A = this chain, B = another copy of it.
Amino acid sequence: MSEIPEAGPAPGTAPVPAGPDAAELEDRWRRTLADLDNLRKRYARELAREREAERERVTTAFLPVLDNLDLALQHAGADPQSIIDGVRALREQALAIVAGLGFRREDQAGIPFDPTRHEVVGVVDPAGSQVAPGAVAQVLRPGYGSPEHQLRPAAVTVAQRPES
């Protein structure tokens, strides 16, 4: 993966007429071609490195959850209520990490169905669900995402619209 030296000869190109101006111009062109090639190689390496750095950053953000899972189990012999409290704190912590990474939890019922954020897994009778027809009746699995991109949609049941 050695880089092409700047202004190195490029084989297989047609000869150009001699003369200082043409030679100077050809030299500039070849240098720029070599720059272009070096830039391509450099960026390919950088892209891989940036992906790796981001994977490390995000995984590191989740490590406190693992630490607290370890701790919860070390105290598993303790009062069951304290374990439940520990799990509740763990859940808040995990949600805060996800929020800190820029992703919002989508778990609200009663709001209008939105196909960009909701995946319908069932339709219910509005009479029994206490929400308006066309609204989300129940969130079975929360969704997560940023305004630009959903990590996954919320799995919801929707109150049936009246037959038109």
Give chain A's interface residues, CB within 8 Å of chain B: 16-17, 19, 21-22, 25-26, 28-29, 32-33, 35-36, 39-40, 43, 46-47, 50-52, 54-60, 62-63, 65-67, 69-70, 72-73, 76, 80, 83-84, 87-88, 90-91, 94-95, 98, 101-103, 141-142, 144, 149, 151-152
Cα A17 to Cα B40 with chains together (Å): 32
Cβ contact of A32, chosen from B32, B52, B149, cutoff 8 A: B32
Cα A36 to Cα B141 with chains together (Å): 48
Cβ contact of A60, chosen from B52, B90, B152, cutoff 8 A: B152
Cα A59 to Cα B95 with chains together (Å): 11
Cα A142 to Cα B66 with chains together (Å): 10
Most interface-central of A40, A52, A54, A57 (chain B CB within 10 A): A54
Given A22-B21, A50-B47, A55-B54, A60 and B142 contact (CB-CB distance below 8 Å): no
Most interface-central of A46, A55, A80, A149 (chain B CB within 10 A): A55
Contacts of A80 in B (CB 8 A): 80, 83
Contacts of A52 in B (CB 8 A): 149
Contacts of A33 in B (CB 8 A): 32
What's the least CB distance linking A58 to chain B, in Å?
Answer: 4
Cα A87 to Cα B73 with chains together (Å): 7
Cα A32 to Cα B27 with chains together (Å): 12
Cβ contact of A87, chosen from B28, B40, B58, B69, cutoff 8 A: B69
